[in-house]
Structure 1
Amino acid sequence: MLVTGQASTEGTASGKVILFGEHAVVYGSPAIAAGLDRGARAVVTRQPSGPSTLRLGDGTVVADASSASDLGRAFSALLEVAPAIPPVHVEARCDLPPGGGLGSSAALAVSIARAAEALARSGEIRPEEGAAIEARVLARAAAWERIFHGNPSGIDATAAAQGGIFRFTRAEGARPITPRHDLVLCVGSTGHPSSTRTTVELIASQHAKDPVLVKRSIDAITSIVGNAVLAIEAGDMRALGDLMNMNQLVLSGLFVSTSELEELCALARSAGALGAKLTGGGGGGCVLALVPPSFRSDGTRDEAREAESAARILDAWRGAEGHYEGFCARIGAGGRSETRGAEGGLS
């Protein structure tokens, strides 16, 4: 979304979860992702002269391609994608934990890029320009993401820009998926940030040493993704949970899981989750747990009972030795998503 004004413009973007297919997507296989309604917001204001500056939290960085700061280099890379953005000051905030695998970096990039694009055009964007501008937004976000992640697939930026649930490949981009029923997910955090660049490079190193083994894992994940699309469209939540567990097993075999991620998954399953897996790069970050759906006698969803089921999972995480935090997200069949906080949840 873009909000325009005379001297400044505002852009917003979604966070994301990867339901299936992380890491395999880097090698051309499909993945399934969904947008969250919590994400990032940026306000961009013109400056009479350079350099461009970005204030995020309590710190401010300068756009500088040679900066010692990754953030400063990423900000510079985003602004320098042709046509370059003239000097600006950006005030940005993100409601996602950094390094959690929830797309905080891409959400920031997309929100900044959207606001900057609108400002560069004095807020006057004709409807026929929309597709071209969104393509530039994604190009700017990709330039930003390469600084942090090395070889990103593009799935985070796509989720940040469009939300909803979609199947994604690097070659074909995003194809929307219409779920038969809402998906109710608990998202739990290890409390330790993950580095997508590190885990992507880890698997690349494994691939160089034993390409056959890594290919088998990627083929397994590809098969899981194909079946997951069918399960989502059919509303088969039990099958979807089983597929989540299978995907987690393959990711563990690729050494991108951790003891904390495994504990969060085990706690969620023991508390009633239909399935659980890491989301994002691994090596830390967050897990997803699928809450069992509840239906009334007339076939409508019993959201109160689903909330009780989600609360049991969140309580299991908080009561563990690690005192893990989390929140519940409902991803709608109509492409909407809403996020519900919990006491002690992520913010």
Structure 2
Amino acid sequence: MPEPTPRTVTGVAPGRVNLIGEHVDYNGGRCLPFALRQTTCARVARRDDGRLVVASGEDRWEGRATDLEEDLDGAPGWVRYVAGVLLALEVSDGLEVVISSDVPIGAGLSSSAALECSVAVAVDALLGLGRTSDELERASVRAESETVGAPTGGLDQAISVHGEEAHALLLDFGTGRREQVRFDPAAHGLGVLVIDTRVSHELTDGGYGQRRDEAWEAARLLGVPTLAEATQGMVYREGLPETLARRAWHVVSEVQRVDAFVDALRADDWAALGPLLDASHTSLRDGYEVSCEELDVAVETAREAGALGARMTGGGFGGSAIALVPLERLGAVRTAVTHAFVARGWASPDFIEADPGPGARVG
């Protein structure tokens, strides 16, 4: 006998940490993220009344599944992430979607992609759509860019879908190549400490989009399809306006750092990783200008307290920093960063000791 059609499916998808390769996905470059253990769960159930109901905690929204785009006018932003996935998958069935998550919101750890991808895998399984993981990833990207209106290069959705235990995912947005790279810091006596500054991070506030547009303009002036294809010599030689030259320099040098980071991992040269993280933060702070005082203090203090290296991660303008720390120094780094924040009158940061986990799946 055929299996009965399910009435409820739960999808699970992780947030992410980008180890290195920031603001290069939409510039055709290479990035190295890994999936967090922190996840978003989307419990999706069938409804027979043609309605879409989305709930999270005490918040609830309801609209017509068959006229979703029209009903989204004035809907809360978090609902648009869910609805965008359904629109991208061309689903108009009546559904109830209940969301729960332990991925920090606004921390630059891609809570949005975790939400999109958890909904995508649940809806696919519930309705028997038969979409591939790559198709679910693309639907999640479309949800964020088209329905939410947040510019995204696709890094976040890629790692949320394709994460693997004890691995980071090398993503080449120029060639489309993807490769799982072994990343198991605990086996080498190290930990990745995520420092959530609690400075809210939003991709829809304009700063991210402005940097993207500046980078694309720099590529146009340099005569290359993407900035990742430019060289350091071109950036120096072609007389770009100062701001665009700084943006271009960051992208070109950041792609080189990603390659060096991956080479060091393959050679088990973990001592080489710290300086690369440090250089990435300096470039993001001074060249791309997407850091903030809280991120800079977190990074500097973590280094002083014993981290091998540290940098901001994510789109910037707030959010989180990461530090590669010997396991025996994790407590000292947490204490030092907390004291530095409190001494400046800021709220205490939050911390996650992160290690790579699996990607999106049915829970």
TM range (shorter): 0.7 to 0.9
| 1:96-144 superposed Cα distances (whole Å, 9 cap, x missing partner) | 11111111111111111111111112xxx8xxx5xx4323321221122
Per-residue deviation, 1:200: 2.1
Check if 1:224 corresponds to 2:244: no
Cα distance in 1 between the residues matched to 2:148 and 2:333: 32
Residue 137 of structure 1 corresponds to: 136
Per-residue deviation, 1:159: 1.4
| 1:182-224 superposed Cα distances (whole Å, 9 cap, x missing partner) | 4511111111111234332231354446544322221011111
Tell me if structure 2 keeps the 8 A contact 1:67–1:73: no
Cα distance in 2 between the residues matched to 1:83 and 1:216: 41
Tell me if structure 1 keeps the 8 A contact 2:88–2:143: no
Structure 2: any 5+ residue segments left out of the alignment? Answer: 218-240
Cα distance in 1 between the residues matched to 2:83 and 2:101: 19
Residues 51 and 162 of structure 1: CA distance in aligned 2, closer, same or farther (over 3 Å): same
Per-residue deviation, 1:180: 6.8
Residue 300 of structure 1 corresponds to: none
Paired residues in the alignment total 309
Cα distance in 2 between the residues matched to 1:238 and 1:5: 53
Residues 148 and 312 of structure 1: CA distance in aligned 2, closer, same or farther (over 3 Å): farther
Residue 73 of structure 2 corresponds to: 67
Tell me if structure 2 keeps the 8 A contact 1:61–1:71: no
Q: Tell me which amino acid in the other structure corresponds to 2:12.
A: T
| 1:19-68 superposed Cα distances (whole Å, 9 cap, x missing partner) | 11111221111111011111111110001122312112221123542422
Tell me if structure 2 keeps the 8 A contact 1:180–1:235: no
SS in 2 for 1:238: helix
Structure 1: any 5+ residue segments left out of the alignment? Answer: 293-305, 338-347
Residues 269 and 190 of structure 1: CA distance in aligned 2, closer, same or farther (over 3 Å): same
Q: Tell me which amino acid in the other structure corresponds to 1:119.
A: L
- Residue 199 of structure 1, aligned match among 199, 207, 212: 207
Of 72-81 and 256-265, deviating more is: 72-81
Residue 180 of structure 2 corresponds to: 176
Residue 344 of structure 1 corresponds to: none
Q: Tell me which amino acid in the other structure corresponds to 2:179.
A: R
Q: Tell me which amino acid in the other structure corresponds to 1:230.
A: D
- Residue 277 of structure 1, aligned match among 291, 298, 311: 311
Cα distance in 2 between the residues matched to 1:29 and 1:9: 36
Check if 1:35 corresponds to 2:35: yes
- Residue 112 of structure 2, aligned match among 105, 109, 113: 105
Cα distance in 1 between the residues matched to 2:122 and 2:57: 18
| TM norm structure 1 | 0.82
| TM norm structure 2 | 0.79
Within 5 Å, give how 1:81-96 maps onto structure 2: 81-96=88-103
CA RMSD of aligned residues (A): 2.2
Q: Which has the higher contact order (CA 8 A, sep 6+)?
A: 2
SS in 1 for 2:51: coil
Cα distance in 1 between the residues matched to 2:135 and 2:120: 8
Check if 1:186 corresponds to 2:193: yes
Within 5 Å, give how 1:223-302 maps onto structure 2: 223-253=256-286, 254-292=288-326
Q: Tell me which amino acid in the other structure corresponds to 1:169.
A: D
Identity fraction in percent: 25
Check if 1:47 corresponds to 2:47: yes
